Amino acid sequence: MANKDPVQQPGTVGSIMTQNVVTATDSQSIVQAARLLIENKVGALPVVDASGVCVGMLTATDIVRFEIDRIANDETDSFGLEATVEKDDQGNLRIGVEPLDQVQRYMNRELQTIEQDSSIEAAAKMMKYEKIHHLPVLDEKGRPIGILSTFDLLDK
């Protein structure tokens, strides 16, 4: 009897995608999202809204491009940081820095996605045509269930 689970079907995106996908929220600070990229050693994060639906992609390249544009335009508030001064319970002053920028300012909203039962060949063609290195794999409700990278294609 054939296994009808697309994740197990050879030649499908589901058979080679990374299943434990790390996501960012659109309202999350860009600093937190950058930490997720670094800590998880990934190059891209699907961005989800409050209901878990994928609304964009954030890549390390997106962050670098945004910051280069900011520097080129002589904007000095990298990552939109704001200094804060507060008193703790003992009356001591605490000085901190809070990021103002949210992921939604940096993310790419022109989202290219694929389904887990799509062929690996179709995914590779899409990635080549769109000149992208990551494709979020979504369920029927638009929530990320995996991510396909060019490294996944090379490892197949």
Is 78 contained in some domain?
yes
Is 7 contained in some domain?
no
**51-55 long-range CB contacts below 8 Å, 24 or more apart?**
52/143, 53/141, 53/142, 53/143, 54/23, 54/111, 54/113, 54/136, 54/138, 54/142, 54/143, 54/144, 55/26, 55/107, 55/109, 55/111
Q: Which of 28-32, 45-49, 66-70, 124-128 has the lowest mean pLDDT?
A: 66-70
Is 42 contained in some domain?
yes
The number of distinct structural domains making up the chain is 1
Is 1 contained in some domain?
no
Arithmetic mean of pLDDT over the chain = 83
Nearest to 6 by CA among 119, 90, 132: 119
For the chain, how many residues are written?
156
pLDDT digits (tens, 9 = 90+) for 51-93: 999 999 999 888 888 777 766 766 555 555 555 566 677 776 6
Full residue range of the structural domain in which residue 135 is found: 13-155
Is 24 contained in some domain?
yes
Is 8 contained in some domain?
no
Is 86 contained in some domain?
yes
In this prediction, residue 93 carries a pLDDT of 62
Domain with residue 43: its CATH number is: 3.10.580.10
Is 83 contained in some domain?
yes
In this prediction, residue 148 carries a pLDDT of 96
